[in-house]
Amino acid sequence: DTGVSQDPRHKITKRGQNVTFRCDPISEHNRLYWYRQTLGQGPEFLTYFQNEAQLEKSRLLSDRFSAERPKGSFSTLEIQRTEQGDSAMYLCASSPRGAVNEKLFFGSGTQLSVL
């Protein structure tokens, strides 16, 4: 399968713990996005990378959230001191080099539950 891969699929953690998610985009896709989706809502933009550069960050991305894409390939999203309100599906997407209006390819997401 050469689609966008996310790991883990599910994560259950206790409030106050740190969690880290990984996203492997489609090979040679230089654009990578993180979104968050809660029940009954559409995906909400968190952050955007072009290669290894983090070019955009949403106001939703509080200081407890940090994302990296160190070599322009895979990306990690870390949430420190998790809160119950962080419970959501975290989606990663990638798109190829070229026009910004290219479609996004989404992974299956990481479902986070904070107890």
Residues engaged in binding another protein (CB under 8 A) = 3-4, 31, 33, 40-45, 48, 50, 55-56, 58, 91, 93, 100-101, 103-109
Give the C-alpha separation, 25 to 6, whole Å: 9
Least distance to another protein, CB of residue 15, Å: 26
Smaller CB separation from another protein, 84 or 101: 101
Q: Which residues of 48-73 are buried (b: 16+ CB within 10 A; e: fewer)?
A: bbbeeebeeeeeebeeebbbebeeeb
C-alpha distance from residue 107 to each of 40, 80, 96 (Å): 19, 23, 15
Smaller CB separation from another protein, 50 or 87: 50
Least distance to another protein, CB of residue 55, Å: 7
Smaller CB separation from another protein, 50 or 66: 50
Smaller CB separation from another protein, 18 or 62: 62
Least distance to another protein, CB of residue 107, Å: 5
Best CA proximity match to 36, nearest among 111, 83, 105, 88: 88
